[in-house]
């Protein structure tokens, strides 16, 4: 069976014609089918035996996230005009008429020809199930999964992820675990954790009872109803075809799978491995082999939460009947709030951005969901950061998504922000500008802390000299480039003034390595985690839990540019935190869709 193509484009971008819209009266699975017809024909992941029971909220991710896929890039539109207010501040007015819609805009809407070329859509990757698994599903039999070493080192808890099915560990798997247990790397820690788990399972079992299988639920994992088997005798069966080197570990594991098929002719024996070549070799020899998918947060990253949803054209007609509106002064500016009820409301999430750009020439409406209670929601109008009077350290939003992102970055009530987007969408520049404005101008935070995972794109250049900050400085070229852009905007003080400003900024920015984060607590810091797509979920958990009182954490990344060998778009730590933090009242997420670096960079990201 041919392998799926490796995606070369950001998986979260959709063509203009396929941009999802919230539709009245359609929630849950019906909203997915209405918003994204292409996904309706995609079968559900069929690798049930290898995928663990989803964690809480995973099913919801599949139902709620599809209507909120990232919008296609659009040209900047006119700034939103606040709706007329029916009463003084903090005085709700009952039953405001639909006439409270935004006033007519003076600027024109962009035509289709002015829209940038949409990114090509990624092929949907569906887990492939072996024939042995499919036949066992039809007959209702339990299977026996033979685990490769890389599965255990990738997920130390994988022993307990196979529900009612049995797990078999060849002796060569234990030998390879022993070879990898030394060191301080993540793989070595996982190998040691697996060894401790196996010791706890085997510790109180009689020697004669090991061959009969050890209950996996013995340590309290109630979902694991199968048994654990070890290879207790040498191979006595047919083994592998002649010509394959017998000393190679992968070939010995394949020989164990073939012998198990001969010993248990009525049992489905399936090899589980993260090694693509191992699975190809097994398929070539006629042995069933599958990948391990339990580490995937989402089977299809097109379902990843984008933080943005487009409202239907008849939104005001269906939701403006019993609408209430009022004004409040929040964070130094006046915002309009709408309390409304309607069929679209149950499909929304807290802190999600909504927008409506009518084609009739009326002003666009941009808002953020602040509260949801059943079919009633409170939506707040946004601050227009595309206007020069609201610039952040000299930076203004150039498109709709950047305006959404700056509303999150400048909101002191939002403690955790994730920004996703391809190269050149402005993630680093917006984060750095917001950090400088809140550290040096409003003094909301003490200093900016910048960190990133040190994974080289090409060959490693070896050890770097100097202190921790000097060693990290070559990895922070992106921040140096953006600091140079931000410093050029100040032309009043002359060359000496710019130099003094740059020294002051440098004194408030600290560059830290991920290797020394464990045990630290950051108080009143503005923490930026760049290239977060190269972090595992466990590493991101370690970083996010460092936050103390008054700390804001930003995660920036592009899941289409993962450099870590064992991470994919579905298993990246950035995908993990985006999916788990959605809907929390103190976090927000925006997928940036339009590149603003240069026309050359935009064209290169589309055609290369």
Residue ranges of the chain with pLDDT lower than 70?
1-128, 236-239, 241, 295-302, 454-503, 515-516
Dist CA 39 CA 20 (whole Å): 12
Dist CA 167 CA 230 (whole Å): 9
φ, ψ for residue 590, nearest 5 deg: -140, 135
User: What pLDDT is stored for residue 301 in this prediction?
Assistant: 61
Pull the structure tokens for residue 150. 């890389």
Which residues touch 292 (CB under 8 Å, ≥6 apart)?
50, 151, 154, 155, 158, 272, 273, 274
Dist CA 155 CA 193 (whole Å): 10
User: What pLDDT is stored for residue 294 in this prediction?
Assistant: 75
Residue from 427, 429, 448, 449 nearest 438 by CA: 448
Dist CA 305 CA 64 (whole Å): 8
Q: What is the DSSP letter of 46?
A: -
How are beta strands 509-511 and 525-530 bridged, if at all? unpaired
Beta strands across the sheet bearing 268-272: 214-215, 227-230, 166-169, 143-147, 268-272, 289-290
137-38-559 Cα angle (round to 5): 85
Q: Are 77 and 403 in contact (CB under 8 A)?
A: no
How are beta strands 289-290 and 308-310 bridged, if at all? unpaired
User: What pLDDT is stored for residue 457 in this prediction?
Assistant: 41
User: What pLDDT is stored for residue 562 in this prediction?
Assistant: 85
Dist CA 162 CA 532 (whole Å): 30
Specify the residue for token string 């654990």.
228
Dist CA 53 CA 51 (whole Å): 7
Q: What radius of gyration do the chain's Cα atoms show?
A: 27
User: What pLDDT is stored for residue 37 in this prediction?
Assistant: 36
User: What pLDDT is stored for residue 607 in this prediction?
Assistant: 87
* DSSP of 113-126: GGSPPPPPPPPPP-
User: What pLDDT is stored for residue 491 in this prediction?
Assistant: 57
User: What pLDDT is stored for residue 51 in this prediction?
Assistant: 38
* DSSP of 491-526: -SSHHHHHHHHHHHHHHHEEE--GGG-TT--BSSEE
| pTM greater than 0.75 | no
Q: Are 366 and 385 in contact (CB under 8 A)?
A: no
User: What pLDDT is stored for residue 58 in this prediction?
Assistant: 37
Query: Any idea how long the chain is?
Result: 608
| H-type alpha helices, 15-66 | 28-35, 37-40, 58-64
In Å, what is the CA distance from 534 to each residue of 102, 194, 576?
A: 42, 24, 12
Dist CA 322 CA 528 (whole Å): 42
Pull the structure tokens for residue 515. 């290797």
Q: Are 228 and 158 in contact (CB under 8 A)?
A: no
User: What pLDDT is stored for residue 582 in this prediction?
Assistant: 92
Q: Are 438 and 526 in contact (CB under 8 A)?
A: yes
């Amino acid at each position: 069976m041919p392998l799926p193509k490796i995606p070369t484009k950001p998986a979260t971008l959709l063509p203009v014609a396929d941009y999802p819209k919230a539709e009245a009266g359609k929630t849950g699975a019906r909203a997915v089918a209405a918003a994204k017809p292409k996904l309706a024909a995609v079968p559900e992941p069929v690798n049930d035996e290898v995928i663990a029971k989803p964690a809480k909220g995973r099913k919801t991710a599949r139902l709620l996230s599809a209507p909120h896929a990232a919008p296609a890039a659009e040209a900047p539109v006119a700034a939103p005009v606040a709706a007329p207010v029916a009463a003084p501040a903090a005085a709700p007015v009952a039953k405001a008429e639909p006439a409270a819609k935004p006033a007519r805009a003076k600027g024109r809407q962009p035509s289709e020809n002015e829209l940038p070329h949409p990114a090509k859509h990624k092929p949907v990757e569906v887990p492939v199930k072996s024939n042995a698994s499919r036949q066992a599903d039809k007959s209702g039999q339990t299977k026996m999964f033979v685990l490769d070493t890389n599965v255990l080192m990738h997920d130390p808890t994988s022993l307990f992820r196979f529900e009612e099915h049995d797990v078999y560990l060849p002796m060569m798997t234990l030998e390879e675990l022993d070879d990898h247990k030394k060191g301080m790397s993540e793989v070595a820690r996982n190998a040691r954790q697996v060894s401790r788990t196996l010791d706890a399972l085997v510790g109180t079992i009689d020697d004669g009872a090991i061959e009969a299988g050890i209950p996996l639920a013995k340590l309290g994992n109630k979902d694991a109803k199968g048994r654990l088997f070890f290879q207790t005798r040498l191979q006595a069966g047919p083994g592998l075809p002649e010509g394959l080197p017998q000393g190679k570990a992968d070939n010995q594991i394949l020989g164990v799978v073939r012998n198990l098929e001969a010993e248990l002719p009525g049992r489905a024996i399936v090899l589980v491995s993260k090694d693509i070549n191992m699975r190809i070799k097994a398929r070539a020899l006629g042995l069933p082999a599958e990948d391990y998918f339990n580490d995937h947060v989402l089977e299809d990253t097109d379902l990843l939460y984008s933080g943005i949803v487009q409202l239907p054209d008849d939104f005001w007609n269906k939701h403006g009947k019993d609408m209430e509106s009022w004004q409040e002064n929040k964070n130094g500016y006046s915002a309009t709030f709408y309390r409304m009820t309607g069929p679209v409301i149950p499909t929304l999430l807290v802190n999600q951005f909504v927008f409506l750009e009518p084609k009739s020439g009326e002003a666009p409406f941009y808002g953020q969901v602040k509260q949801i209670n059943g079919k009633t929601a409170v939506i707040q109008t946004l601050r227009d950061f595309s206007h020069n009077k609201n610039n952040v350290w000299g930076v203004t939003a150039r498109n709709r998504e950047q305006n959404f992102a700056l509303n999150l970055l400048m909101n002191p009530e939002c403690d955790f922000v994730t920004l996703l987007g391809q190269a050149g969408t402005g993630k680093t520049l917006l984060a750095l500008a917001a950090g400088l404005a809140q550290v040096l101008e409003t003094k909301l935070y003490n200093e900016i802390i910048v960190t990133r995972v040190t994974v080289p794109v090409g060959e490693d250049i070896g050890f770097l000299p100097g202190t921790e900050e000097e060693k990290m400085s070559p990895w922070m070229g992106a921040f140096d480039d953006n600091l140079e852009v931000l410093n050029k905007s100040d032309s009043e003080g002359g060359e000496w003034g710019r130099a003094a400003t740059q020294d002051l900024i440098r004194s408030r920015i600290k560059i830290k390595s991920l290797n020394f984060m464990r045990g630290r607590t950051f108080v009143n810091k503005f923490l930026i985690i760049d290239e977060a797509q190269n972090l595992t979920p466990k590493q991101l958990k370690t970083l996010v839990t460092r936050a103390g009182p008054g700390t804001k954490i930003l995660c920036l990344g592009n899941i289409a540019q993962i450099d870590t060998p064992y991470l994919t778009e579905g298993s990246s730590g950035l995908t993990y935190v985006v999916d788990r933090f959605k809907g929390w009242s103190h976090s927000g997420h925006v997928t940036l869709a339009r590149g603003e670096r240069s026309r050359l960079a935009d064209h290169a990201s589309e055609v290369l």
